[in-house]
Amino acid sequence: MEHVADVRVIFGDTDAMGIVYYATYLKWFEVGRIELVRRGGMTYRDLIEKGIHLPVVEASIRYHRPARFDDRIRILAEVRKLGGASITFGYRLEDRGGNILAEGTTRHAFTDEAGKVRRAPEGFEKITGTQNQRR
């Protein structure tokens, strides 16, 4: 997994128990995948301008330890699988000590602006570092 970003937990992301609200982890997954694609030389804005959208069609999270207000979170992300019309990203969130807070995946379909499924764009393997993974 590649370290792609760090975030600090804001108070608004915690619940009444002072623990990060469970859905916030999906927001951090998004930060991870956007930065991973950016490191590959393309931005999500570039994809949208080309008429390519990546809606989430499946998400999974396994929580290991709670994160709390003002904690620094390290986001690690990678492409797990690039299919003909979908892509699966994997994520690991760690605290400053390297303890795993959560792990998960999101699977995205490649669609056009109307939501019609389409093939992954040519050259996307280079952007995501998955030259030998397309299936």
* Active site members: 15
CB contact at 8 A, 85 and 120:
yes
Q: CA-to-CA distance for 25 and 13, rounded, in angstroms?
A: 10
Q: Are 87 and 110 in contact (CB under 8 A)?
A: yes
Strand partners, 8: 72
How far is Cα 55 from Cα 106, in angstroms, rounded to an integer? 10
